[in-house]
Structure 1
Amino acid sequence: MTSSQQAVRTNAARLVAVELDEDSIVRSTPDIEHERAVAIYDLIDENEFAPEGVGEGPFRLRLSLVEKRLVFAISQENGEPVVTHVLSLTPLRKVVKDYFMICESYFEAIKSATPSQIEAIDMGRRGVHNEGSQILMERLEGKVRVDMQTARRLFTLVCALHWKG
């Protein structure tokens, strides 16, 4: 990593707050709630998030679903609106459905399956999660630059929003 890339990552190209629109989510199982909280905490702790062509951050992000579309409302740290991106959920729909199915299998498996069975399901879960994260990165291309770890955490939050739908 060059020193200019490192400076961008540590200074401006990051999120300092993430909010999920309360009207877009419903409370779920403790496992899903925990995963959501951990994703937000980890996302704020370490991320690369740089909206294209809007100047320096750091930024705040409000995620919501509006008419079956994913809304990224981005603002400056002080709350001043910067840009809003509205993305179709269609490219993510199948992978989100697959991710929920495999998560249900995983949460059931940890109750009674062998460690090797749990590990196999978890590997599949991570693979589907990576696929969704990659699709999200592609959907954000030209709008917001994110690294894979940031995309993974954002995908978890997209799933939390999509759960209501």
Structure 2
Amino acid sequence: MADLYEQITPPQQRKAPSGQWKLLVLLAIGLILLLLCIVPVARILGHQYGYKRFVSALSTQTYQCYYQDNLRAEVDGTSLRITGDNAYVVYNAISALGPGKLPGNPPQETPDAVLYYGDEAMMKLWSVALSQADRRPSGVYVEFDGPEGDFSYIINGKDMSYFSAALSPEKNPAWEE
């Protein structure tokens, strides 16, 4: 029993428990909250920056196609030579409607329209259903592959019928090589 009493430390000689673990827990919680605030903002800013680069590249491609008359579109199995004015209808709609929504995975179906900007760039357009929270029941999924980079997003301000008017066989001649 004598050994048992020697192992007990008197209250005045005991060390107070360290508060380091509490500090580490608070620091971890603060870091998680900071990340939860920064990541969505960074993603949106990255989307905005990518959209500006995309519109700049699309502007360059549209300008070149306007003067070279080499914008080809595949719409409903038909190959069309898109006129310069209709090329600008597509460009103006995309630039005026803004960056739209962040995209998910591209649709697995065949695109409703594929635009070939000479040999340099390609844009695919799909009609997609939007969520019930959006103003419209459908929008347009845009995927652009160009020399300056790739970009995709969802236009929720217009549906595919707006673009179909500018990409119709009635307003554009057939592509003949």
Q: Which band: TM-score by shorter chain?
A: 0.3 to 0.5
- What TM-score, normalized to structure 2? 0.32
- What TM-score, normalized to structure 1? 0.33
Larger Rg: 2
Larger relative helix fraction: 1
